[in-house]
Amino acid sequence: MSRLTRLLAAVGALSVTIWTVQCAVAGSGAVLLAQGQSARPPQNVETSIAELHRKLQITAAQEPQFGAVANVMRENARAEAGAPQQPPANATAVDDLRAFIKYSELELAGLRKMLPALEGLYSALSPGQKKIADAVFRQGPGG
């Protein structure tokens, strides 16, 4: 397997992983640059936050930790909304890959911001809520 083929496979695997986590956390579709699919508008993040709150059955005592997760979700939605949704029609394969990498880096940065907030919330959840969280975050796109 050539070095480029391995690189493209690694980028693809990372993208699928990011897409799965992003969809589970925020309920939004991933932006697949080469295919020209667009992300859900940022205002839908509020619906995703409300749905996550409902599914996890967040208590009053858990609101501060959940609020931190919700704030990161909002920040990530704003950052993704500002990113180009697809390369120009006359883009080359190299341009496509560059755009894909740039967007993947944006998604990865969002996941890195989410981790400490989610760890804080997860530690405040009851065992039953943790089971629900585990299921919600595993379901991925379309789940």
Band of the pLDDT at 81, cuts 50, 70, 90?
confident
23-80 residue pLDDT tens:
444 444 333 333 333 444 466 999 999 999 999 999 999 999 999 999 999 999 999 8
pLDDT reported for residue 41:
46
pLDDT reported for residue 89:
85
Domain boundaries, the chain: 3-139
pLDDT reported for residue 83:
80
Which among 31, 125, 20 has a CA at the least distance from the CA of 69? Answer: 125
Query: Strand, helix or coil at 32?
Result: coil
Structure tokens at 88: 């120009």
In this prediction the pTM is: 0.67
8-24 residue pLDDT tens:
444 444 444 334 444 44
